[in-house]
Amino acid sequence: MTRPSWAPEGIDLDRPSASRVYDYFVGGMHNFEIDRTLARQIEAFTPNVAETMRANRDLLRRCVRYLVDAGIDQFLDLGSGIPTVGNVHEVAQARNPAARVIYVDIDPVAVAHSRAILSGNPNAAVVQADVAAPEDVLDDPQVRELLDLDRPVAVLLLGVLHFVPDEADPADCVARLQQAVVPGSYLAITHATADGQPTEVLEAQKLSGRTSTEIVLRSKDQIAAYFHDWSLIEPGLVHLPLWRPEHPADVGAHPESSGAYGGLARKG
């Protein structure tokens, strides 16, 4: 297939990518037929997958608003994805125009598109890096220039840790990020799970292996452990629609059918 102008040179057009599959599920335009085919195959096993992904994006908005209202004006958004509606800098800067945001993603399409929409925004930037190498992120000159790590930062790990395999020790990656920030900082995590899901979710999980970032489904206890000793903000680690809903529509009829958990914690 021909490479569209928004896709950077050198990307593998014959392999689906997690960021473009997610983009498709949340209604974005930056995906290829190969991504949509995989998305439809995943959806055949897990019909609630698009709903879960939209619930993830909705939680992102509520969480960023909560954080700005709590006085946070610096965000490190890891696994930020292809920009779509309600990006972190838009939500944060709508409430505080001085809010600073660093986006980090491993995917070249996500990075290229983020760079394009951020041109002319002095308070936001994007870095291509692997969340499993936190020092590459923390030592990046753009991160050092834009974020003041002597002041509280919100570290967002939304929909990304399930792409970090056990061999890469996600708990240690998170701990290294936690150590790099000062008390008063926050950590938000959303993570896919098989808890309470039909067994077909395991077929969908296997299909994700067609991308370069296969999903690892983890239990509520495993996900809760990533917060280490930080204090969870009410209501704790819950199914996505149940995290501080702002309207009854945020919750829906069966919030427990969401295939992911989300939570936010503060460094004391």
Ligand X SMILES: C[S@@+](CC[C@H](N)C(=O)[O-])C[C@H]1O[C@@H](n2cnc3c(N)ncnc32)[C@H](O)[C@@H]1O
Among 31, 46, 74, 80, binds ligand X (CB under 6 A): 80
Q: Which is nearer to ligand X, 80 or 193 (CB)?
A: 80
Q: Which is nearer to ligand X, 110 or 224 (CB)?
A: 110
Tell me the window of 1-9, 55-63, 176-184, 201-209 that interacts with ligand X (CB under 6 A). Answer: 55-63
Q: Which is nearer to ligand X, 172 or 182 (CB)?
A: 172
Q: Which is nearer to ligand X, 38 or 131 (CB)?
A: 131
- For ligand X, the binding residues in 120-159 under the rule CB under 6 A are 130-132, 158-159
The two tokens of residue 73 are: 């004006």
Which residues have CB under 8 Å from 83's CB, separation 6+? 110, 113, 114, 117
Among 39, 51, 57, 102, binds ligand X (CB under 6 A): 57
Cα distances from 30 to residues 82, 107, 125, 162, 252, in angstroms, run 8, 12, 20, 22, 28
The least CB distance from residue 69 to ligand X, in Å, is 20
Tell me the window of 42-50, 52-60, 67-75, 255-263 that interacts with ligand X (CB under 6 A). Answer: 52-60
Q: Which is nearer to ligand X, 154 or 268 (CB)?
A: 154
Tell me the window of 6-14, 16-24, 67-75, 92-100 that interacts with ligand X (CB under 6 A). Answer: 16-24
The rounded distance, in Å, linking the Cα atoms of 121 and 127 is 15
Q: Which is nearer to ligand X, 182 or 212 (CB)?
A: 212
Q: Classify residue 2 as exposed, middle or buried by CB count within 10 Å of its CB (0-12, 13-18, 19+).
A: exposed
Contact 97, 74 (CB under 8 A): no
Cα distances from 229 to residues 128, 168, 267, in angstroms, run 29, 21, 8
- Binding characters for ligand X, 160-179, by CB under 6 A (x = yes): x--xx---------------
The rounded distance, in Å, linking the Cα atoms of 81 and 87 is 9
The least CB distance from residue 268 to ligand X, in Å, is 25
Q: How many CB atoms lie within 10 A of CB 45?
A: 17
Q: Which is nearer to ligand X, 158 or 237 (CB)?
A: 158
Q: Which is nearer to ligand X, 139 or 183 (CB)?
A: 139
> Containing H/E element for 179?
helix 170-180
Which residues have CB under 8 Å from 218's CB, separation 6+? 161, 162, 191, 192, 193
- Binding characters for ligand X, 86-125, by CB under 6 A (x = yes): -------------------xxx--x---------------
Contact 210, 15 (CB under 8 A): yes
Residue 217 interacts with ligand X (CB under 6 A)?
Answer: no
Q: How many CB atoms lie within 10 A of CB 108?
A: 17
Q: Which residues bind ligand X (CB under 6 A)?
A: 18-19, 22, 56-57, 60, 79-81, 105-107, 110, 130-132, 158-160, 163-164, 213
